A and B are shown apart, each in its own frame.
Chain A
Amino acid sequence: GAGVSQSPSNKVTEKGKDVELRCDPISGHTALYWYRQSLGQGLEFLIYFQGNSAPDKSGLPSDRFSAERTGGSVSTLTIQRTQQEDSAVYLCASSLQAGVAYNEQFFGPGTRLTVL
């Protein structure tokens, strides 16, 4: 079956531009997570959704970052006025349901964002 997919796989943008990153979770998975993997910060949590609601946005680094999820499926992470420190690999994961420890999170391949 299809796994978590993310698009684009690579994105190069200029400082100050806005970018949108997309995540398609596994069908039937109600929980969706965004993480960021960067050289300086390692792997860090950004935000998660249960259905279309985002109970925890605590990892978003600034108000330039936002995310939404529609129809309990696709999610978009938007970064406004990108900065060079936003360069990282953005990972999306999904699981059957949040709040249940043994529900494995399945990760997508990531979007590599480079801000020039």
Chain B
Amino acid sequence: GNSVTQMEGPVTLSEEAFLTINCTYTATGYPSLFWYVQYPGEGLQLLLKATKADDKGSNKGFEATYRKETTSFHLEKGSVQVSDSAVYFCALTGAGGGNKLTFGTGTQLKVEL
């Protein structure tokens, strides 16, 4: 079946540091890939997505590139801010299945001044 593996947290960074959160996946066919974010006390929000190989999703300074050869979708940001502190979830939707999301375990990010 489909699965998503993402790096364990929590991750603590200083403001303006570079962020990478690793995500790899297992899926049949050609899944679509997503990063969702959950800010403290808020619901899940879509951060970015990529629907085919070599696509780059980007939003709010975050980027992730769909790498089929390495089955990866790593999240990056060049300069994090305190306001980026949240839990980040990598997810995929597989072929068929009505686009139900399969999530990774989530990575908590804390950005300090």
Q: Is the CB of B101 within 8 A of A35?
A: yes
Q: Of the 9-residue stretches B10-18, B44-52, B67-75, which lies at the interface with chain A? A: B44-52
Q: Which of B57-99 contact A (CB under 8 A)?
A: 89, 91, 93, 96-99
Interface size range of chain A in the complex? 20 to 34
How far apart are the CA atoms of A88 and B89 in the complex, in Å? 17
How far apart are the CA atoms of A76 and B72 in the complex, in Å? 36
Between B43, B93, B96, B99, the greatest number of chain A beta carbons within 10 A of the residue's beta carbon is seen for B99
Q: Mark A16-47, 1 if CB is under 8 A from B, else 0.
A: 00000000000000010101000000111100
Q: Mark B2-45, 1 if CB is under 8 A from A, else 0.
A: 00000000000000000000000000000010000000001111
- The residue from B32, B89, B99, B102 contacting A95, defined by CB atoms under 8 A apart: B99
Residues of the B chain whose Cβ atoms lie less than 8 Å from the Cβ of A71: none
How far apart are the CA atoms of A101 and B44 in the complex, in Å? 18
Q: Mark A60-92, 1 if CB is under 8 A from B, else 0.
A: 000000000000000000000000000000010
How far apart are the CA atoms of A35 and B46 in the complex, in Å? 15
Between B32, B43, B106, the greatest number of chain A beta carbons within 10 A of the residue's beta carbon is seen for B43
A100 with B99, Cβ < 8 A, contacts A108-B43, A110-B43 known: yes
A-B contact pairs, 12 of them (CB 8 A): A31-B98, A33-B101, A42-B103, A43-B101, A50-B98, A93-B44, A95-B99, A101-B32, A101-B99, A102-B49, A107-B43, A107-B45
- Enumerate chain B interface residues (CB-CB to A < 8 A): 32, 42-46, 49, 51, 89, 91, 93, 96-106
